Amino acid sequence: MIRLREAYEAEERERLAGCAVKSADSRGRVVPEPEHRYRTAFQRDRDRVVHSRAFRRLEYKTQVFVHHEGDHYRNRLTHTLEGAQVARTIARALRLNEDLAEAIVLAHDLGHTPFGHAGERVLDALLEADGGFDHNRQSLRIVDLLEERYPGFRGLNLTQETREGILKHGAGWDHPVPLPPETPQHCLEAQLADLADEIAYTNHDLDDGLRAGLLRPEDLTGLSLWREAREKAEARAVGSSEAVIAAQTIVSLLDRLATDVIETAAQRIAAAGADSPDAVRALDAPAVAFSDSVRHELRVLKKHLFERFYLHPRVLRATRRAERILGDLYEAYRRAPELLPEHVSARFETDGRARAIADYIAGMTDGFAQAEHRRLGRLHDGD
């Protein structure tokens, strides 16, 4: 009755494309472990990510809107789940390793600070003399070091392939765990995870921006990707309410982008003749990509999102507040380390004071950072 790991591994060899990463060929984990009886290496990675504390905290971290602004908006967790869904669709269509792509996307935003990119910018500036701060690098710190769940190793001890996908580019910094070998390109599953993230946030940010009234539909009609998606939705949902047509517009756009990636990648992989993961890694350009025309139109659409949504006065107000909160927290902990929990100050020696404080702040949820800010304010007032 029970289907064992070996059966999945054999099936992968039959079902997946030559250029797909096979779980039985994984380059393994930094600390060797026996394989699981009925889960493949990448299924196990995915499960370790889902069971981590950092994953649960994503629910209370900002995507664009701070969590108390409305229950319908995306947070970091729902963004991650939508991205993972897009990744599975693309991976399956291209006969790539769906479990690996899913594990990468589920882990890709673990390192995000509270309050989204505003928090990342503040920490990066504060840590200028100590190596800076970047959420991709922080995601790797979490899975390699900061999660404490297993005997015998720190972190989640994920496979090299999942870590390769989380790392993305730019390993020009100190990381205490050996990094996956650097290659010109990442495996296809890592490449597609990156685009699935972009497809997910572009669509759901449009959706949230319109719902919140920060984006205006009439401003979007000048953008060809949006206009085509809207026309398709209107034709498909004749006689439906505006709510249905609006939802179908997002559906159409998402489908258009995912389909474009699938078709473009299929062509490029075939043209490059890359028939193994290592052949893919040696190529001089990523094979999973948007077509030139969609990439251009998407750039125009994202520019609009950037100017009208991410820089909208209402979003900027929240951004300024977030910057102040994280800046205050960092300064307070630097000045008075006794305010920190012991597990943080205990790492001053090994990780450096700045990095240990940044790890602590980056791990906070929006709500915890706000509460901690109030607590420290009260302590300060009581001086």
Tell me which residue of 104, 72, 74 sits closest to 86, measured CA to CA: 104
**Which residue, 75 or 370, has its beta carbon nearer to Mg ion?**
75
Instruction: Write down the least CB distance from residue 83 to Mg ion, Å.
Output: 6
Tell me whether residue 109 or residue 147 sits nearer to Mg ion (CB atom): 109
Closest CA to 257 of 221, 293, 286: 293
Nearer to Mg ion, 5 or 108 (CB): 108
Exposed/middle/buried for 237, CB within 10 Å: 0-12, 13-18, 19+? Answer: middle
Contact 290, 195 (CB under 8 A): yes
Closest-by-Cβ residue to Mg ion is 197
CB 172 to Mg ion: min, Å: 22
Which lies closer to Mg ion via its Cβ, residue 22 or residue 76?
A: 76
Phi and psi, residue 75, nearest 5°: -115, -175
We find the least distance from the C-beta atom of residue 332 to Mg ion, in angstroms, to be 29
Could you tell me the smallest distance in angstroms from the CB atom of residue 37 to Mg ion?
33
How far apart CA 172 and CA 158 sit, in angstroms, is 21
Q: Residues interacting with Mg ion, by CB under 5 A?
A: 109, 197
In angstroms, give the least distance from the CB of 69 to Mg ion: 19
Q: Could you tell me the CA-to-CA distances from 56 to 53, 197, 304, 363 in Å, in that order? A: 5, 19, 32, 11
Residue 201 C-beta: closest distance to Mg ion, Å: 6
Identify which of residues 41 and 166 has a Cβ nearer to Mg ion in the complex.
Answer: 166
The residue (of 253 and 354) whose beta carbon lies closer to Mg ion is 253
Q: Which is nearer to Mg ion, 45 or 197 (CB)?
A: 197
Q: How near is the Cβ of 235 to Mg ion at its closest, in Å?
A: 32
